[in-house]
Amino acid sequence: MPRHTRAAYSWASASGAVTTGVLRWLVIALMSCLSHPALSQPEGLSAERITTRNGAAVLQYTAIRFAQAPAGRWRWRPPRPVTQHEQRKGWPPACVQDDRTSNWYAMVATGVDGDTSKVPQTPAVSEDCLFLNVWTPTQKSPTKRPVMVWIYGGSNRSGWSYEPDYRGQELAASGVVVVSIAYRVGLFGFLAHPELSAESPHGSSGNYGLLDQIEALRWINKHIASLGGDPGNVTIFGESAGAGNIGYLLATPLADGLFHKAILQSGGWAITQQRALADDEKEGLEFSKRTGMSIEQLRQVSATDMLRLQQQDYERGYDDPPIDGWLLPRAPAELMQRKDLPTRPVLLGSNADESLMYLNRPSLKDWQQALATYAAPDRAWLQQRFSALPIAQRLNQLASAVSFHCPTLATAEALHQAGSSAYVYRFDRIRDNAQRIGAYHGAEIPYVFGTHADWLFTNEKDWALTEKMMDMWLSFAESGAPAQPQHWPTWDSNACGVSLNTQTTRVRLDTQLCKRLGFNLKATTAVAGASNTCQQSTTAIR
């Protein structure tokens, strides 16, 4: 029987999930009345006792340092581990960034007719930002609990570990230990430069944000048992850039043994990364030339001025770590095939309308320009495929497939070929007031955490889906499977996955479109004799 306290859910109807929610509330209420002693505080750390939505108590540890400040002469160097527990009061500063993430929340609020004045604002920022937060049940357990480690998104340019959507109290109330970690973003986390590579014993640079995440996982492996977690059962999960980073963590040998399962929400593109260190070094060299400063001089610039220089001279849009011969000895697609790659269950998926809210009144010319990058036969196929849709939906479907759906399927296939179990989903739920932006990029996060903001219209169907998805994620973190095999099959040549909506069903995912877009997938939507392999639904989802 699962250790987490959430009841079994119904796959057939939302009413089953509502019943699940009632049962869960009763179980938590009963647990809160038991006389088990509270979890003892580890030496040097203190927690706040907070109450969850359904009345359960959870211990919340904020601002635990996992690495020393990467500032001054330590800017653009790998993180340095800590030797003893250190904790600040309140939430820690976010890593240095601009208002990109708060602007994203405002974009969502506008798309759902929400109150933009209530969206999260960028907190205080600092280079001294390598802290993590932990949520753990108050009750002692006879065994160590599964650990879920959240890695935030934000294009690797922004984001912080305690955005309201990411707070782990609701998940922890169900019997897991939740950790959210910070990492350097933007130029601070991903600048490559010949001078930086020369001073590295590995000849490497441009990957400091990923090295921060690895250092946080090392801290968790060493210390999480004192907070009730099982260092032998660690699941990393993240969305967007956080999920993209997990793709690199799955590939790099440096992270082998530090986690045992992974969940990638809207971010499978690491499998396509081919960018070499020399490419990033060239960009970094151009940046230093524009500023007229060497690396040592740039290390003396204040964080505020460095952020200004980034905005002025180093606006890349998204930061990936390069193939550097160390963190990434080879391209991720090749590393996924290495003989010593650990087999780890992976849950991964994307949202139906990842790109819709980023389209600003697109025109027919925009659609034609998007098609122009493809060969004539593929252009004709894509034109016929999407001709019945409005221009915005055409571009949404195409861009979402290129950047999210197809890389996700390619990652699932690579993992399957390497012997790991991969479970694929498509999040299709559109909130009642979100028709303009659909099942948007990031829409699934409040369902995973049970943290729907009051500026998001959330009805009973949304809460029912929340119960389902929290159960799936918790089950996966505990056992490596989000459901029984008859409910959620692993990825194979049948290309089956699960649609997450008010009616959660098995579906066949559209590999034909991905092949037209240049993704080399062996799985096919036209498997002979496979008409019943994806339960009652055989309609391919784009």
E strands present in 127-203: 131-137, 145-151, 177-181
Q: Is 441 a catalytic residue?
A: yes
131: left (phi over 0), alpha (psi -120 to 50) or beta: beta
Q: Which of 127, 170, 239, 354 is catalytic?
A: 354
Of 85, 37, 381, 69, the residue nearest 222 (C-alpha): 85
Q: Answer for the pair 511, 409: CB distance below 8 angstroms, yes or no.
A: yes
Residue 439: Cβ within 10 Å count: 22
CA–CA separation, 496 and 498 (whole Å): 7
Q: Answer for the pair 395, 367: CB distance below 8 angstroms, yes or no.
A: yes
Q: Is 405 a catalytic residue?
A: no
Buried b (16+ CB within 10 A) or exposed e, 236-256: bbbbbbbbbbbbbbbbbebbe
Q: Which amino acid is at 33?
A: C
Q: Which of 193, 416, 441, 452 is catalytic?
A: 441
Please report, for the chain, how many H helices and E strands are present, in that order.
18, 13
Buried b (16+ CB within 10 A) or exposed e, 62-86: bbbbbbbebbeeebbebbeebeeee
Residue 365: Cβ within 10 Å count: 9
Q: Which amino acid is at 108?
A: V
Q: Is 354 a catalytic residue?
A: yes
Q: Which amino acid is at 231?
A: P
Instruction: Say which residue the tokens 């230990």 belong to.
Output: 177
CA–CA separation, 424 and 476 (whole Å): 12
Q: Answer for the pair 174, 24: CB distance below 8 angstroms, yes or no.
A: yes
Q: Which of 161, 240, 355, 421 is catalytic?
A: 240
Is 147 in a helix, a strand, or coil? strand
The residues annotated with a catalytic role in the active site are 240, 354, 441
